[in-house]
A and B are shown apart, each in its own frame.
Chain A
Amino acid sequence: MSEAATVDTANTTTAVDIRGVSKIFGAGSDAFTALDDVSVAIRENEFFTLLGPSGCGKTTLLRLIAGFEHATRGTVLLYGEDISDQPPYERPVNTVFQSYALFPHLTVAQNVSFGLEMLGREKSEIREAVDRMLKLVRMEPMRNRRTEQISGGQQQRVALARALAPRPKVLLLDEPLSALDLKLRKEMQGELKRLQHETGITFIFVTHDQEEALTMSDRVAVMNEGRILQVGSPREIYDRPGDRFVASFIGEMNFLVSKIESVESDRVRVVFPGGAAAFAERPKDFEPAGEVTLAVRPEYVRIENAGTPDTLPATVTEKVYFGTDTHYHLRLHDGAELVSRLQNARGREDTHPVGDRVGVRWATGSAQILKG
């Protein structure tokens, strides 16, 4: 794993520090490793997202921070204090559950006040905090409703208000938007960003939706099979994926097998099995050699007329219309396939019909050599 935390400017406090955490469920032959030696530092006040496919360990990691699970190995630190052995009710972190888990026997306001009551706060303070929270999530008119009498989106807001009311040091959000329909989800994405901004609380957000992760987060950790593969800003994750999994999980990516021909100061020249050659950015953290995978996003692949200098000869095999853009499926002469995504515009409908011979190229900086 790359030492992302040390690469970034370390002028902020670390809120949550995960150190060498492993979690193994079951024992013997049934044992399942949910987390495999995970280390990550989450900074104060950031919107941090754990992104990965289902079963990658992201929810387990969140539950470990909340205290619902206990690490098999390793420690969890909150502002430098080891909280690994603390029960959930002693940890100053709160959770927004995927199912919201609102108490069905309590009203909206009673749900929001629950945490403060458990902390033994003054009645007047509780009342004030509940009012403030309900205003914050715009649920004031519903304060005396039963939780089953309000819509999914409203339940979501109440769950947020309930978790924010005790002013936790860290707010944990376990796929909170997955139960909402698309339109409401978009709305709540903006709402969450606003809440994080207004409260200044560290958010740790779990999702399997890459778009959600990219649009909302300050930083993203991409996880797979119990490991963190890469930590970085959405832009870094998208433009400089650390490995093949990250590259294919986030956005779409063309992978082309090639061989390193020469390494220059900031670029490398590769040759494809068919003999054609192209350039790619020189990787910063390793020295490429021999057979490598070249990765290039479909939107960076340009299509020119056949025979244009510095292009790879290819044939259009299929065209798929997507509304905003069209995907051109192309086959290089050595048989390798790749996709080019061109934005649609009036008057460009008939360029490059299926079967057309074309030339393919990309800017050196948009192609990347992957490890292995």
Chain B
Amino acid sequence: MTADAVNPTETAIRERQVRRNWLLCVPALVLLVFAASGPLLIVLVYSFLEPGDYSGVIWKFSTEGWFQVVFSRDIFDETISLADAHLSIIWRSASLSLATTALTLLFGFPTAYFIATRPESHRAAWLFLITIPFWTNLLIRTFAIMEVVRNEGILNSALKGLGVIDEPIQLLYTETAVLIGMVYVYLPLMVLPLYAAMERLDFRLVEAAYDLYATRLRVLRRVIIPLVKPGIVAGSILVFVPSLGAYVTPRVLGGGKNMMLGNLIELQFGQGRNWPLGAALSLTLLVIVTVALLFYVRNVSRGSRYG
């Protein structure tokens, strides 16, 4: 072998490695394309077709599905107006999701801070207490809340017992019940990333702030919150995204009157029998979620400069 000839082994090994990597990933990718990502493209196709009489679609190009997301056409005179029902549902989805995010942050921040400031050996146990509800079936947790907010539920009984109210308040099947339910089911999703950020918080920085005459409130506002901001953003996204697409919680706690986007979508594939509209609504939801995720990615990559 001559000394100045470039050895072919190195590149050959690298190529073999990349090929091996891809081969190992192929089975998972095939499954995911078949049963998760690929069908999303079919949704896109369906959103541009005409609805069938009973269900399904007629293979004819139409933008009616997308049109109906925002507008409605009068059956008799074809006048176009804003689809109030849809818009109010989209508005409810957005406002309830934002309220859920804000409330989970309000409850989650002190909880995460509490866990992060425990002695290291205790933290895992506290965290475990958060993880149990997190992994508990969403339906079960929603049932649990349902029992709390019912007319005969513990909330009303407690209030009655305390003499605050005489008659039970109708909570179930209201927007408030949906909000309570969503805060309850998504709270762990806020606590976990917040905790992850706070665990990394260097308390020597807090000491330095106190040393430089900061009050507790100022330490919180000027030191702690800026440092854990990536965790706040991550938690907010983790709560906001599934809230927006929530289906079970509004169905169980909101009844038929307090639908959210997820229920509206389901309706088009059930009684509504308007698959193209359902497809268009699904994609609308997907776009909003993607925008939120992109916002998150940008924020986190900017935030990582500090952490």
CB under 8 Å from chain B, chain A span 73-126: 73-75, 82, 84-85
Q: What residues of chain B lie closer than 8 Å to A71, measured between beta carbons?
A: 7, 10
Partner among A20, A72, A74, A82 whose Cβ is within 8 Å of the Cβ of B10: A72
Contact B1 A75 (CB under 8 A): yes
For A27, the closest partner residue in chain B by CB is: B11
In the complex, whether A282 has a CB less than 8 A from a CB of chain B is no
Complex CA distance for A73 and B6, rounded to whole angstroms:
5
Contact A85 B6 (CB under 8 A): no
Min CB gap B123→A, angstroms: 22
Contact with A along B7-20 (1 / 0, CB 8 A): 10110010000000
In the complex, whether B41 has a CB less than 8 A from a CB of chain A is no
Contact B10 A73 (CB under 8 A): no
Min CB gap B190→A, angstroms: 36
Contact B9 A85 (CB under 8 A): yes
Min CB gap B9→A, angstroms: 4
Min CB gap B45→A, angstroms: 43
Contact B7 A72 (CB under 8 A): yes
Chain B: interface residue count, which band? Answer: under 10
Complex CA distance for A19 and B3, rounded to whole angstroms:
7
Min CB gap B1→A, angstroms: 5
Min CB gap B15→A, angstroms: 13
Q: What residues of chain A lie closer than 8 Å to B1, measured between beta carbons?
A: 75, 82, 84
Q: What residues of chain A lie closer than 8 Å to B13, measured between beta carbons?
A: 70
Min CB gap B7→A, angstroms: 5
In the complex, whether B77 has a CB less than 8 A from a CB of chain A is no
In the complex, whether B23 has a CB less than 8 A from a CB of chain A is no
Complex CA distance for A82 and B5, rounded to whole angstroms:
15
Contact B9 A20 (CB under 8 A): no
For B5, the closest partner residue in chain A by CB is: A73
In the complex, whether B4 has a CB less than 8 A from a CB of chain A is yes
Complex CA distance for A36 and B301, rounded to whole angstroms:
39
Contact with A along B97-128 (1 / 0, CB 8 A): 00000000000000000000000000000000
For A82, the closest partner residue in chain B by CB is: B1
Contact A74 B3 (CB under 8 A): yes
Contact A70 B9 (CB under 8 A): yes
Min CB gap A129→B, angstroms: 32
Most central of A19, A37, A85 by chain B CB within 10 Å: A85
Min CB gap B165→A, angstroms: 61
Complex CA distance for A37 and B3, rounded to whole angstroms:
9
Contact B4 A73 (CB under 8 A): yes
Complex CA distance for A122 and B9, rounded to whole angstroms:
34
Complex CA distance for A73 and B4, rounded to whole angstroms:
6
Min CB gap B269→A, angstroms: 50
Contact B3 A72 (CB under 8 A): no
Min CB gap A233→B, angstroms: 28
Min CB gap A283→B, angstroms: 30
Contact with B along A6-27 (1 / 0, CB 8 A): 0000000000000110000000
Contact B3 A73 (CB under 8 A): yes
Q: What residues of chain B lie closer than 8 Å to A84, measured between beta carbons?
A: 1, 7, 9
Complex CA distance for A70 and B17, rounded to whole angstroms:
14
Partner among A75, A82, A85 whose Cβ is within 8 Å of the Cβ of B3: A75
For A20, the closest partner residue in chain B by CB is: B3
Complex CA distance for A74 and B3, rounded to whole angstroms:
5
Complex CA distance for A82 and B1, rounded to whole angstroms:
9
Q: What residues of chain B lie closer than 8 Å to A72, measured between beta carbons?
A: 6-7, 10
Partner among B3, B4, B5, B10 whose Cβ is within 8 Å of the Cβ of A70: B10
Contact with A along B38-55 (1 / 0, CB 8 A): 000000000000000000
Min CB gap A10→B, angstroms: 21
Complex CA distance for A75 and B3, rounded to whole angstroms:
7
Complex CA distance for A264 and B10, rounded to whole angstroms:
53
For A71, the closest partner residue in chain B by CB is: B7
Min CB gap A370→B, angstroms: 29
Complex CA distance for A231 and B9, rounded to whole angstroms:
29
Complex CA distance for A84 and B1, rounded to whole angstroms:
10
Complex CA distance for A72 and B13, rounded to whole angstroms:
12
For B3, the closest partner residue in chain A by CB is: A20
Min CB gap B18→A, angstroms: 15
Q: What residues of chain B lie closer than 8 Å to A19, measured between beta carbons?
A: 3
Complex CA distance for A70 and B1, rounded to whole angstroms:
14
CB under 8 Å from chain B, chain A span 52-80: 70-75
Complex CA distance for A19 and B7, rounded to whole angstroms:
13
For B14, the closest partner residue in chain A by CB is: A70
Min CB gap B10→A, angstroms: 5
Min CB gap A61→B, angstroms: 15
Q: What residues of chain A lie closer than 8 Å to B10, measured between beta carbons?
A: 70-72
For A69, the closest partner residue in chain B by CB is: B10
CB under 8 Å from chain B, chain A span 13-53: 19-20, 37
For B1, the closest partner residue in chain A by CB is: A75
Complex CA distance for A20 and B10, rounded to whole angstroms:
16
Q: A70-B13, A71-B10 given; name 19 further pairs at CB < 8 Å.
A: A19-B3, A20-B3, A70-B7, A70-B9, A70-B10, A72-B6, A72-B10, A73-B3, A73-B4, A73-B5, A73-B7, A74-B3, A74-B7, A75-B1, A75-B3, A82-B1, A84-B1, A84-B7, A85-B9
Closest 5 CB pairs of A and B: A20-B3, A70-B9, A70-B10, A75-B1, A74-B3
Can you list 24 pairs linking A and B with CB atoms under 8 Å apart?
A19-B3, A20-B3, A20-B4, A37-B3, A70-B7, A70-B9, A70-B10, A70-B13, A71-B7, A71-B10, A72-B6, A72-B7, A72-B10, A73-B3, A73-B4, A73-B7, A74-B3, A74-B7, A75-B1, A75-B3, A82-B1, A84-B1, A84-B9, A85-B9
